[in-house]
Amino acid sequence: MVRSSPVVSGSETTPVEQAPVSAPARVPQERGLSWRMLGRWEVALLGFVLGTVLFGIAETPNFLTGTNFFDFGLNIGSIAIMALPLTLIVMTGEIDLSVASTLGLASSLLGYLFAHGWPIVGAMALVIVVGLACGLFNGLLITRLGLPSLAVTIGTLALYRGIALIILGSNSVTGFPSSYTTIGTSPIPHTELSWSLGIFILMAIVYAIVLHATPVGRAMHAIGLQQEAAFFSGIRVKRIKLVLYALSGLLCSIAGILWTFQYATSRYDAGIGLELTVVTIVLFGGVSIFGGRGTIVGVVMAVCVIGGIESALTLMNVAPQVQQIVTGCLLLISVILPNAAEGIGRIRARSAISRRANE
Amino acid sequence: MNLRGSRLALAATTAVVSVASLVAVATNSASAASSRLKSGETIYFIPKDTLNPYEVIADAGGKTALNAIGDKQVVSSGTADTAAAQIPSIQAAIAAKASAIVIAGNDPSALCPSLAKAQAAGIKIVSFDSDVTCPNHLFINQANTRQIGTSEIDLLASEIHSTGQIAILSAAATATNQNAWIKYMKVELKKYPKMKLVSTVYGNDDPATSLTVLQGLLSAYPNLAGIISPTTVGISTAAQYLDTHKALLKHLTLTGLGLPSQMKKYVLDGTVKAFELWNPSNLGYLAGYAAATLASGTITGKAGQSFTAGKLGAYKILPAAAGTGPSVVLGPPTVFNKSNVLKFNF
């Protein structure tokens, strides 16, 4: 009876006999558990955030300064923006590895159009449309042809980067108007927020509302937990996934525009390899790679931890190899800890049942 | 307004300082500069990445120079050769109130906003190995760009009797230095009508990628007579491949820019006859002295000024030329072959 609750309405009118068969005893237990676990992981994340800040303050005198906060936002903002749509995609049990290539394509196209005399606003508009098209292309291959998202987006990872290379070749485009490139050196007026981080925060609020306070958000949870059940209860699974991929393309192109202005340069290799950082943020934020579990708050905290640690270690002049090891370990912890908690929970539940049986 | 004011001030300071240094030079000869260097300064070296063996040697050369002066060297960069990976290091230099930054740019312009911020914070900027296009910095040129491009072609021409198809195995398609050399190689090739450049491929300074593009090159052009790889990663990967495919050596000659330590095996067993490089340790050493001298205020980095770089002697700052601002040239590249390759330990 618990299992039908996330599926919202309409579960009575659909062919129910199929869904409960696959999951009757297991699912209710896991849902109860996963809710508790999720709470726990967020508490752990909060601990990580505080730990990062304390570590930064203790190890370097310049950590908690306005300038460093701006630098932090500058370095992580565009990456964080790409993590939001990916969060929703992973929630529905899919993946998008083409995010950084979409960013690179957006940067190249923006540079190409600008170099060919387009007004900057027009160029930005077309770049966003193309980003949307990139996301739609991923989404159509995955939802309409039913192809696995991992394979499709590894393919478009190479494809979009390749198109970027064709557009710009080995050239780089510079000379963007300084009123735009100032986002790379100056924060939003009267704050220490970089523009990219400011946009991320706004977007995060919108995404949090959609994911946690709307029927569509609940539908995403349901799709991730059990796709067939969600489908049979009337959720438009393919439509939702298609929209999520389109949104991913859109936000990645916005990240690409920010990236280009921030570095005052357009190049085909903009943001190369960043998809792994984005995935790391999403998973460390507590979003289950199997779908169905995750919060925007968790992802926001993961952004703080991963960006904050990078910032502190750079200020301390720790070798970048060590920084990678730290990030790698964090990711492992984020996978191991909830799983261990789940295991312990299951053992406890089992012993409780046997105790009850013995009584 | 503000900008113009500060520019005026800068020009005035420059004038005063250059007059002062002129007087100093006149009264005390050029060698005076080094003894007046301030010690205790912190100087950031920001290589393309922290693992590139060539830059590791250059950074060590810089450390030798800074130790001699009494300054502190901090080496900071990322593991990927991108501008985005270098920017946190520039930010760290600003936070640490460094007095100078010595940087090998992964991108000619993407670092400029951050470097401008560093300059605004009073940090002197020196670039080496791969230049940036930002204003008001001193470029330490490993060798005249034209000299490297032309000497590579001349070296290969002498080995293949100026005849046959040749190809270039470069680093990243966007690398400033590689592209500048390749441009001069193409100019120099006009002297050799029987030599034809059939392809330029990019190994991204990654051994695996370099090997893949090399294999593609060899299958596309089975009669290739020469390969120039103006990057240490490219030439060592190619040499290793040729070492295990000796049949290719009957018609194929490899040359380029390489490290003696990596290449001596292949030179001694005949896989590679000759290759070139400047001494990266001296390059870092010169950059270290230039940075320390700028940080001391002894020079401002304008053309015509001179300074002494320890054991390397006196250097004069050259005026800005096409594409580069004021620069200092380390010297002509050294050709390494069987006769001298064992004498160098970098």
- Within a domain: B337: no
Indicate the residue of A185, A314, A321 with minimum beta-carbon distance to B117: A185
Clarify whether residues B138 and B286 are in a common domain: yes
Within-domain flag for A153: yes
Q: Which residue has the higher pLDDT, B4 or B308?
A: B308
List the single residue in B49, B80, B174 with the smallest CB-CB distance to A273. B80
Question: Is A248 an interface residue toward B (CB < 8 Å)?
Answer: no
Separation of CA A286 from chain center: 11
CB spacing of B109 vs A174 below 8 angstroms: yes
Task: Note whether B150 and B235 are same-domain residues.
Answer: yes
Does B230 share its domain with B263?
A: yes
- pLDDT at position B162: 94
* Secondary structure, 3-state, A216-261: HHHHHHHHHHCHHHHHHCCCCHHHHHHHHHHHHHHHHHHHHHHHHH
* Structural domain includes residue A357: no
> What residue type is assigned to position B176 of the chain?
T
- Residue B342 is assigned to a structural domain of this protein: no
Q: How confident is the model at residue B35 (pLDDT cuts 50, 70, 90)?
A: low
Mark yes or no for CB contact B50/A314 under 8 Å.
Answer: no
**Residue B336 covered by a domain:** no
Chains A, B: CB contacts under 8 A, how many?
89
pLDDT at res. B9:
53
Q: Quick one: B18 and B100 in the same domain?
A: yes
CATH number for the domain including B297?
A: 3.40.50.2300
Per the CB < 8 A criterion, the answer to whether B107 and B82 are in contact is yes
A355 lies in a domain? no
In order along chain A (359 residues), what is the average pLDDT of each group of 10 residues?
40 40 41 53 91 93 90 94 97 96 97 96 98 98 96 97 92 88 90 95 97 95 94 94 98 97 91 93 93 94 95 88 88 82 77 74
What is the reported pLDDT for A74?
93
Query: Do B210 and B184 belong to one domain?
Result: yes
Residue B140 has pLDDT above 60, yes or no: yes
- The minimal CB distance from A75 to the residues B50, B88, B112 is found for B88
Question: Cα angle at A355 between A353 and A357, to 5 degrees?
Answer: 70
Q: What is the pLDDT of residue A39?
A: 54
Same domain, B123 and B156: no
**Whether the predicted model's global pTM rises above the 0.80 cut:** no
Cα distance from A317 to chain B (closest Cα, Å)? Answer: 6
Instruction: Give the pLDDT of residue A57.
Output: 94
Q: Does A78 touch chain B (CB under 8 A)?
A: no
For residue A310, which residues of chain B lie inside 8 Å, CB to CB?
88
A294 part of a folded domain: yes
Please indicate, yes or no, whether residues B161 and B173 belong to a single structural domain of this protein: yes
| Final residue belonging to a domain, choices B277, B296, B315 | B277
Please give the residue range of the domain that contains residue B293.
2-142+280-330
Whether B339 maps to a domain, the answer reads: no
- State pLDDT tens for residues B176-209: 889 999 999 999 999 999 999 999 999 998 899 9
User: What is the C-alpha to C-alpha distance for residues A294 and A288, in angstroms, rounded to an integer?
Assistant: 6
For residue B244, being part of any structural domain is answered with yes
Considering only residues B333 and A98, tell me which one the structure prediction assigns the higher pLDDT. Answer: A98
- How many angstroms separate the CA atoms of A223 and B323, rounded? 57
Place of tokens 């940075």: B291
Mean local confidence (pLDDT), B121-146: 91
B22 or A108: which leads in pLDDT: A108
B273 and B284 part of one domain: no
Say how many domains are in chain A. Answer: 1
Please tell me the predicted confidence (pLDDT) of residue B238.
96
In chain B, what residues touch A272 (CB-CB under 8 Å)?
80, 82
Contact state of B96 with A71 under an 8 Å Cβ cutoff: no
**Cβ separation A62–B96 shorter than 8 A:** yes
Query: How many DSSP H helices and E strands does chain B contain?
Result: 11, 14
Identity of the residue in B49, B76, B174 whose CB atom sits nearest the CB atom of A170: B174
> In 3D, which of B165, B157, B321 has the Cα closest to residue B251?
B165
The answer as to whether A359 is a domain residue is no
pLDDT at A36: 55
The pLDDT score that the predictor gives to residue B122 is 95
Q: B7 and B138: one domain?
A: yes
A residues 80-139 lying closer than 8 A (beta carbon) to B:
none
Is B171 part of any domain?
Answer: yes
pLDDT at position A359 is: 64
Range of the domain at A272: 5-349
The mean of the pLDDT values for chain B is 88
DSSP A264: T
Please compute, for residue B180, the number of CA atoms within 13 A of its CA located in the half-sphere on the CB side.
19
Q: Is residue A82 part of a domain?
A: yes
**Are the C-beta atoms of residues A207 and A84 closer than 8 Å to each other?**
yes
Same structural domain, B13 and B135: yes
Closest-CA distance, B23 to chain A, in angstroms, reads: 39
pLDDT at B155 over 50: yes
Upper half-sphere CA count for residue B150 (Cβ side, 13 Å) = 10
A196 touches chain B (CB under 8 A): no
How much is the pLDDT for B108?
A: 86
Domain-embedded: residue A334: yes
Domain CATH for A252? 1.10.3470
Q: What is the pLDDT of residue B323?
A: 74
Of B255, B277, B299, at which residue does a domain stop?
B277
Whether the per-residue pLDDT at B28 is higher than 50: the answer is: no
B92 and B199 part of one domain: no
- What backbone phi and psi angles, to 5 degrees, belong to A145? -95, -10
* B124 and B192, same domain (yes or no): no
Domain count, chain B: 2
